[in-house]
């Protein structure tokens, strides 16, 4: 039975107004609860020191992720939501579960063992699940915003950046509360900053990126078994890396920790960077292959081919338009470039047999956006604006 117009309006209203409002309340409530708990444990001054110290590494992570996400930038609202999810919902979920695991471990194995159980078992299993849940949600409910591995890595990275930000605030604040800034004999906030903010700022993003890679592979394969196994494999990889890292820091000697850092984490991080770089070049080829078809249909001017098939050329084009015609024109051009990229990815998915039933409508929307933005650019240029 089809919905009446009134029923449809009510359903749409719930989705567009109620759900975002509820989501914001949950994020804000979780964030305030975490802030109150952390401040109660370390004190207001230490909390403020923790916030300042945590800003530097999170800026490095966000800058790196934005650099990765240049061919088809994800909506800013979703990136903020991903960061907020990691910083609040995932963080408070992990806190509650890890504290419970610690208490159970102390009760079953004796006082002091609970911390080990929490760090090596509970934290990897449940922190990665809480962070990965956001990327799974994007895959299920906002499928058009997740085109492959790069998108999966970006969403997972922003969630993990938010989580690491909240975690670092507490660790830096606790270090300051206990030892102050530190000296050669005490591990104060400076030592904590070097360990977490300089040597290992990308640990949480690296762990959770495995989930993003798994989900990215899942949405880009026609193989049903791979669609199921890739996210599971990504989650297990994240858990194993996280557990290995925590075990080295909790159970091992300083030499063990350094061995894990240099022999495991650094090579995996370098491999991840190379893997992402390969996927970025692959995205460039997808766009370049689709452009002649867009020219044939009259949606793209042939003189724009080179400027659309290269990221540096795109950026230089936007800069020239901004200087000549203003920022509004540059934003219009950015929309034109984004529509070209998304249309290229949609055609690529269709060739692989991965486009869903809504693909034709999505194509019409992208073509309309492309044509409209191109026309607006031409009008601004003709008007001398």
Of 185, 183, 169, give the one whose Cα is nearest residue 42: 169
Helical ranges in 85-223 per DSSP H: 91-109, 113-117, 128-141, 149-179, 189-193, 203-218
Name the token pair of 217: 């592979």
Q: Provide the pLDDT for residue 220.
A: 86
Residues near 281 by beta carbon (within 8 Å), at least 6 away in sequence: none
User: How far is the C-alpha of 230 from the C-alpha of 112, rounded, in Å?
Assistant: 37
Crossing angle of helices 203-218 and 149-179, in 10° steps, is 160
CA–CA dist 238, 242 (Å, integer): 6
DSSP result, 228-295 = HHHHHHHHHHHHHHHHHHHHHHHTS-HHHHHHHIIIIIHHHHHHHHHHHHHHHHHHHHHHHHHHHHHH
Distances (CA, A) of 284 to 45, 127, 277, 345: 48, 34, 11, 10
pLDDT at 22: 64
Enumerate the β-bridge partners of residue 186. 183
The reported pLDDT for the residue numbered 6 is: 46
Buried b (16+ CB within 10 A) or exposed e, 143-153: eeebbbbbbbb
What are the mean pLDDT values of the chain's consecutive 10-residue runs (385 residues total)?
46 52 63 68 81 90 91 88 92 89 83 84 95 95 88 96 91 84 72 84 93 94 91 97 92 86 92 89 92 92 90 92 88 90 91 83 90 82 58
Residues 73 and 26: their CA atoms lie apart, in Å, by: 26
Paired residues of 183 in beta bridges: 186
pLDDT at 325: 84
* CB 166 within 8 Å of CB 87: yes
Distance of CA 200 to the CA centre of its chain: 18
Q: Which of these, 353, 330, 327, lies nearest to 219 by C-alpha position?
A: 353
From residue 295, how far is each of 301, 367, 370 by CA, in Å?
A: 6, 12, 12
> What b/e sequence results for 94-111 when a residue is b if at least 16 CB atoms lie within 10 Å of its CB, and e otherwise?
bbebbeebbeebbeeeee
């Amino acid at each position: 039975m089809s919905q009446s117009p009134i029923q449809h309006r009510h359903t749409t209203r719930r989705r567009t107004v109620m759900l975002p409002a509820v989501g914001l309340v949950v994020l804000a409530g979780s964030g305030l609860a975490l802030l109150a708990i952390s401040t109660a444990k370390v004190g207001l001054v230490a909390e403020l020191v923790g916030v300042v110290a945590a800003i530097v590494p999170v800026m490095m992570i966000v800058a790196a992720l934005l650099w990765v996400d240049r061919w088809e930038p994800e909506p800013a609202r979703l990136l903020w939501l991903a960061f907020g999810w990691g910083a609040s919902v995932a963080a408070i979920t992990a806190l509650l579960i890890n504290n419970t695991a610690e208490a159970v471990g102390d009760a079953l194995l004796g006082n002091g063992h609970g911390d080990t159980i929490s760090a090596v078992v509970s934290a990897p299993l449940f922190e990665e699940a809480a962070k990965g849940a956001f990327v799974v949600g994007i895959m299920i409910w906002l499928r058009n915003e997740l085109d492959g591995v790069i998108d999966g890595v970006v969403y997972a990275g922003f969630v993990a950046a938010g989580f690491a930000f909240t975690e670092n605030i507490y660790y830096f604040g606790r270090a300051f509360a206990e030892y102050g800034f530190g000296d050669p004999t005490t591990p104060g906030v400076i030592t904590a900053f070097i360990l977490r903010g300089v040597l290992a700022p990308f640990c949480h993003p690296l762990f959770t990126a495995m989930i993003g890679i798994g989900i990215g592979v899942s949405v880009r394969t026609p193989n049903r078994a791979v669609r199921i196994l890739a996210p599971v494999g990504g989650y297990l990889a994240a858990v194993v890396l996280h557990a290995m890292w925590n075990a080295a820091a909790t159970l091992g000697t300083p030499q063990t920790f350094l061995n894990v850092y240099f022999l495991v984490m650094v090579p995996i991080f370098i491999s991840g960077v190379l893997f992402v770089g390969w996927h970025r070049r692959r995205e460039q080829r997808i766009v370049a292959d689709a452009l002649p078809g867009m020219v044939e249909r009259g949606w793209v001017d042939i003189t724009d081919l080179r400027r659309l098939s290269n990221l540096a050329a795109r950026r230089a084009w936007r800069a020239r338009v901004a200087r000549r015609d203003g920022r509004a024109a540059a934003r219009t051009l950015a929309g034109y470039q984004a529509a070209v990229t998304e249309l290229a990815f949609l055609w690529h998915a269709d060739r692989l047999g991965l486009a869903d039933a809504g693909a034709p409508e999505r194509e019409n929307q992208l073509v309309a956006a492309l044509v409209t933005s191109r026309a607006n650019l031409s009008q601004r240029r003709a008007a001398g604006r």
